[in-house]
Amino acid sequence: MASIKPSTPKGTRDFSPTEMVRRNFIFDTIKSVFRKYGYQQIETPAMENLSTLMGKYGDEGDKLIFKILDSGEFLEKSNTIKALTEKLPELIDEVIGQRQRLERANTISDTVTESLKSQITEAKQSQIDLERYLLSRIKESLTSKKITSEISEKALRYDLTVPFARYVVMHQNEITFPFKRFQVQPVWRADRPQRGRYREFYQCDADVVGSPSLLNEAEFIMIYDEALSKLGLKDFTIKINNRKILSGIAEVIGKADNIIDLTVAIDKLDKIGLDGVIKELLEKGFSAEDIEKLKPVILLEGSNSVKLESLREALKDSATGLKGCDEIETVFTYIESCKLQNATLELDITLARGLNYYTGAIFEVKTNEVAMGSIGGGGRYDDLTGMFGLKDLTGVGISFGADRIYDVMDELNLFPADTNQTTKVLICCFDSDGEKYALPLLHNLRRHDINAELYPAGAKIKKQMEYANNKHIPYTILIGSDEMQSGLLAFKDMESGLQEKLDAKEIVERLK
């Protein structure tokens, strides 16, 4: 058998033991905060029915869903393939017949008239057109959405939100509302792999459904602040906006139907600047007068309270816009009662993510310590479960960008030193007698929840010490004939090099 060069599929990654310890440190920290606020963990299958996912992410999103081929002779189940197969022999016979006629014509082409040569040329073009038609029919059949549904009934989940909506509807009689859930699982997207973008990656989500209270929004701000502070971040901004404010802005300039064009443009203010935003708005049909009305709103400055006061004046003729201001103010009032640790809370009118589904608050989190995109985001949605027939169940949710948080912590050297090691102590022995002597000690260490290993007898002590160093094991216990006779074991601190003689009980107490 020929050897196979080992590789991972494009857009996927292996994670080393050190990386896994660090990733789990991030996930465990965030999970602990979720639980503190009353959120319960759920999991959903890696695959969903294709009908559950399709049509929920727009045309572009649907193209990025990884479909799973049905098992067995799936092509035989496809009516589209059957129809093409039945027609194919007739089309092929026609192509072959046309080729044969052209070959006969070519043998006499030197002796025929110019008129007949012209007919032969036309026949050749017809042959090319016929073959192109045949190939296009085959390609059309094999790439159509119709054939996809005939040969694939399942797909890998694209995100955690749609499966969560499906879960709520299926279990609505079992769960307690408001339902507060968190979920940390991988998702898959058939995207073009590039730096920072993968085909398989983890999402870390929390949502509460069945409660319209704005206390939920305030608590999500507190969750972001506490979790990221626990991870060691010292300077980050939680940006907040409200879909109703954006709708109100569009209303007051008479462009309510163009809210998407408006928000897509102003969302790029940080990237393309005011001139770039104005240029894009003009291209989308906004007038110079519209833009003059927008400028004071887009360029709001000052504290959050000053911004809100300016917005109320600008949106005084929009009931929707004023309701958005009221909601933001309510969230700020909740937060005033609970001092944030390291987060800066900022009202940002240019924040316009997720407008296809967010109906109220919109969140985005960015670190100010390194150059990095958003490390979190979310918002309120009023009809998440409506796609599955359960109408008017409001909810709000957030997500942590675990991969970006990892990169930020790595760059800032925020991972605790002990994330490099999983074993706390390694027992080393010279021979099989030492190995037998060490087994009760090993068992006792583990009973006291001390991560311990026993290196199998037979290897040189130097090799055992190298093993401890390579695995960043901070302590070793050396057992030789003298140690077995005296009961005092050589206990070594691998970082300082300090070695002491301790009995088994003293070692347990030292390592606890």
Do the bridges between strand 343-347 and strand 236-242 make them parallel or antiparallel, or are there none, so unpaired? Answer: parallel
pLDDT at residue 311 in the model: 92
Question: In 3-state terms, what secondary structure has residue 475?
Answer: strand
Question: How many residues belong to the chain?
Answer: 512
Please tell me the predicted confidence (pLDDT) of residue 186: 94
Strands 200-209 and 40-41, how do they pair? unpaired
**Residue 64: helix, strand or coil by DSSP?**
coil
Q: Angle CA(360)–CA(215)–CA(213) in degrees, nearest 5? A: 60
Whole-number pLDDT of residue 214: 97
Give CA–CA dist 222/219, Å, rounded.
5
Cα–Cα distance measured from residue 315 to residue 503, given in angstroms and rounded to the nearest whole number: 76
Please report the pLDDT score of residue 38 as a whole number. Answer: 97
| pLDDT the model gives residue 299 | 82
Which positions ≥6 away from 372 have C-beta within 8 Å? 366, 404, 407, 408
Q: Which two tokens stand for residue 193?
A: 């792999």
Q: How far apart are CA 26 and CA 409, in angstroms?
A: 10
pLDDT at 102: 58
Torsion angle, alpha carbons of 94, 96, 99, 101, to 10: -70
Phi, psi for 228 (deg, rounded to 5) = -70, -35
| Paired strand residues for 205 | 183, 399
**pLDDT of amino acid 277:** 85
How confident is the model at residue 258, as a pLDDT?
Answer: 82
What pTM did the predictor assign? 0.81
DSSP conformation letters of 297-363: HHT--S-HHHHHHHHHHHTTT-HHHHHHHHHHHHHHHHHHTS--SSEEEEE-TT--TTTTT--SEEE
- What was the pLDDT predicted at 194? 80
C-alpha–C-alpha distance, residues 212 and 393, integer Å:
9
Cα–Cα distance measured from residue 462 to residue 465, given in angstroms and rounded to the nearest whole number? 5
Which residues 6+ apart lie within 8 Å of 231 measured at CB?
26, 29, 405, 409, 414
Element (DSSP H or E) covering residue 5: none
d(C-alpha 392, C-alpha 117), whole Å: 73
Instruction: Give the chain's residues under pLDDT 70.
Output: 1, 72-150, 355, 420
Read off the amino acid at residue 60.
E
3-state helix, strand, coil in the chain (%, to 5): 50, 15, 30
Question: Which residues, listed in sequence order, are joined to residue 452 by a DSSP beta bridge?
Answer: 425
Amino acid at 68: I
Three-class SS string for 433-460?
A: HHHHHHHHHHHHHHHCCCCEEECCCCCC
Cα angle, residue 210 at apex, residues 207 and 214 outer, rounded to 5°: 70
In the prediction, which pLDDT does 260 show? 82
